Structure 1
Amino acid sequence: MKAVVLAAGQGTRLRPLTDTRPKPLVPVAGTPILEHVLDAATPVVDGFVIVVGYRGDAVKDRIGSSYRNVPVEYVTQDEQVGTADAVGMAEEHVSERFLVLNGDVIVRKSLVRALAEAGGHAIAAKSVPDPRNYGVLQVSDGELDGLIEKPDQPPTDLANLGIYSFEPSVFDAIATVDRSTRGEYEITDAIESLVESRERVRVVEHEGAWLDVGYPWDVLQATSILLEDQTGRIAGAVDDGAQLVGDVVVESGAEIRSGVVIEGPAVIKSGSEVGPNSYIRGATVIGENCHVGHGVEVKNSVLFEDTNVPHLSYVGDSVLGSNVNFSAGTNVANLRHDEETVNVLVKGNSVDTGRRKFGVVCGDNVKTGINTSLNPGIKLPSNHRTRPGTVVYEDPGDAQ
């Protein structure tokens, strides 16, 4: 059985993190999302077909021709016109029943195995508190009766997780699909065609963790979910004067200097230096070749590779891209004074993160001047600079 992995999208809602990398290569818990997806599938598949598009060469360079000894093939979706089109691109590469996984979703191995073992066509579903923002499944005797996209009055609380197994007959159904109202060819329309043709589509219900990493703050939630499974491991150098509490991973080549306190779960990647006198807490990942220095507190945040917060700064509930440098006294505000949830501007619209605490998102190569203050929910676009003493109240330039 092969797995077709959809990894062609640009991920515009994740900007500025996707300005310079495809969405599936955005790191969560220190590893690109795509690799977490492949890891979930390797126990049950004998090949991958990865559908690439936006910055597809970066995906190919990262994954290569095999992943953990499982062969990998690639097809290119030059124009991203929907999931049905993306799955259809793989037709020449599969001749038997296959899985379909999204390259930007955190999924457990148990769910992938359950789909693989379901037989025939199958769709993954999960009960959610508010299904109105999902495709909602109607089910009878464990099989799909219908699928309604984002209904105002959902008939059930079962949400479509966008993870499937298909027989090759799905390609005939895909051939009948017309563009949806948003101008795309939807795999859900192909599934409805299967149901109308009286082909059985089993519903595999899932109770464990699942997360579509669609917004920058989802990087924090996904990291928190994945670090729950982490066991502490010290392979790097830790000075006697440092304190490591809980499940902390210090990779080989990382250095933890005197006066540092790290409260896990946390990951310090290879080549990074933390301290002296730094405080790391919450579900935090310090990426490769980073420097977190004297008098710096990093709480519940993700720093991509080559990023530096060298002295006298606070970074809370934030995502910093690659090669970011926070000058001395740069401080992130992560809590509104009225204690309401933080909103972020996404593609011109104000979106509620649902988080009472959320700091900032920085694209790659952002540099701040000394004593810069950043308000909650701010996004700094790639290559942005702030002057010394700047207070940033709203998104500068094109950070949408």
Structure 2
Amino acid sequence: MKGLILSGGTGTRLRPITFTSAKQLVPVANKPILFYAIETVRAAGITEIGIIVGETKDEVKQAVGDGSRFGVAITYIEQEAPLGLAHAVKIAEPFIQDDTFVMFLGDNLIKDGICGLVDEFKQEKPNCQILLAHVPNPQAFGVAELEDGRIKSLVEKPKEPRSNLALVGVYMFDKNVFEAVNAIKPSRRGELEITDAIQYLVDAGYDVQPHVIEGWWKDTGKLEDMLEANRIMLENIETRIEGTVDKSSVVYGKVIVEAGAKIHGSVVRGPAIIGKSSKILHSYIGPFTSVHDNVTIRSSEVEHSIILAECVIENIGSRIEDSLLGRNVRVHRSEQRPRAYRLMVGDNSDVEVL
């Protein structure tokens, strides 16, 4: 069995962060989301993985490499444009050949993994197995309608959903899916929809089995989803102090302080991670905060946030929370006169002020 991980999307909902970085490489608990996907597939015993890449292919290849660090062999499959999930399957046929495979969306997180689901697929041998989850906003997903436990219909982002069962970003197929992706036509969005391909399999009489998962699953396409994923992953960490914490500082709860990091005159309340060579000086770092490498936080408070590498936060009079700061961002108080907010903000940013 092989794995197919999709990492070719443009990440429009996470702009401006994704103007300069692949959305699958934005870190959750200081680890790129894509790495979680690779580790999840590897944990299910799958060691041959194809990764669909697009315009951010160079960045993805540099981050992942040949896969040896994860114990897998990676094959990169280039998609000329984001033409749909079924298109990604279509161009992966030379890699997959006649094998069964798991398709995993690279910006999805499934806390409990997929080991049991892969075992179930191998034992029962359906032509396709799809994962579903109850969601409060099904119109934002592909939606499945079930009848007597079997799939009746699948619709991509319906205006009037017939159920609240969303397609989780994990699918399992045998070779018959290639018949489906080569038979369907592009949707109104100009994409080959995976829902149409699965509907083709249903209509053609193939065995398509739904599996409703009850555990935690998250599509990390939006800021609030990223922050929730960060919170969930941080809850699982174990305290590890490799950097230095001076006597005037207090660190409690689950906290990781990476090598080279310095905590001075500060309070760090976990769960939280302080990345390599970062400096927390006379500051407060609250729960559910991930501070990446080479960050400086001075005389400021940060809570429930993701701070990417090389950021500087200095002398902020109020607390930063529920925030995602991209790489090399500087947030600081200015004594310049006249007093005013002075902003340099990229496209599609969101700024809230007191």
> Could you state the TM-score of these two structures normalised by the residue count of structure 2?
0.90
The 5-angstrom pairing of residues 42-191 of structure 1 reads 42-44=42-44, 45-66=46-67, 67-94=69-96, 95-111=98-114, 113-118=116-121, 119-120=125-126, 121-191=128-198
1:11 aligns to 2:14 (yes or no): no
Counterpart amino acid of 1:181?
R
Change (3 A) 1:158 1:265: same
> In the alignment, what sits opposite 1:267?
273
Gaps of 5+ in 2: 350-354
Whole-angstrom CA distance in 2 between matches of 1:55 and 1:131: 29
Tell me how many residue pairs correspond in the alignment. Answer: 341
Q: Is the 8 A contact 2:4 2:102 kept in 1?
A: yes
> In the alignment, what sits opposite 1:390?
340
Q: Is the 8 A contact 2:112 2:216 kept in 1?
A: no
> In the alignment, what sits opposite 1:304?
308
Q: Is the 8 A contact 2:43 2:115 kept in 1?
A: no
Counterpart amino acid of 2:86?
A
Whole-angstrom CA distance in 2 between matches of 1:56 and 1:311: 38
Whole-angstrom CA distance in 2 between matches of 1:112 and 1:185: 28
Whole-angstrom CA distance in 2 between matches of 1:130 and 1:325: 35
Q: Is the 8 A contact 1:268 1:286 kept in 2?
A: yes
Q: Given the alignment, which residue of 243, 247, 253 partners 2:250? A: 243
1:312 deviation in Å? 3.9
Return 106-115 or 66-75, whichever deviates more.
106-115
Whole-angstrom CA distance in 2 between matches of 1:102 and 1:371: 46
Counterpart amino acid of 2:19?
D
1:162 deviation in Å? 2.6
> In the alignment, what sits opposite 1:196?
203
Whole-angstrom CA distance in 2 between matches of 1:189 and 1:16: 31
> Could you state the TM-score of these two structures normalised by the residue count of structure 1?
0.80
Change (3 A) 1:247 1:112: same
CA root-mean-square deviation: 2.1
1:93 deviation in Å? 0.8
State the SS of the aligned residue for 1:74: strand
Return 4-13 or 144-153, whichever deviates more.
144-153
Whole-angstrom CA distance in 2 between matches of 1:70 and 1:239: 41
Change (3 A) 1:179 1:388: farther
Q: Deviations over 1:302-353 (max 9, x none)?
A: 11001111334432211111111122x2xxxxxxxxxxxxxxxxxxxxxxxx
Whole-angstrom CA distance in 2 between matches of 1:105 and 1:273: 31
Q: Given the alignment, which residue of 311, 321, 331 partners 1:326? A: 331
1:103 deviation in Å? 0.6
Whole-angstrom CA distance in 2 between matches of 1:245 and 1:311: 23
The 5-angstrom pairing of residues 292-371 of structure 1 reads 292-293=297-298, 295-313=299-317, 314-327=319-332, 329=333, 370=334
Change (3 A) 1:46 1:283: same
1:221 aligns to 2:228 (yes or no): yes
Query: Which structure is higher in helix share?
Result: 2
Gaps of 5+ in 1: 330-369, 373-386
Whole-angstrom CA distance in 2 between matches of 1:251 and 1:97: 40
Whole-angstrom CA distance in 2 between matches of 1:230 and 1:392: 38
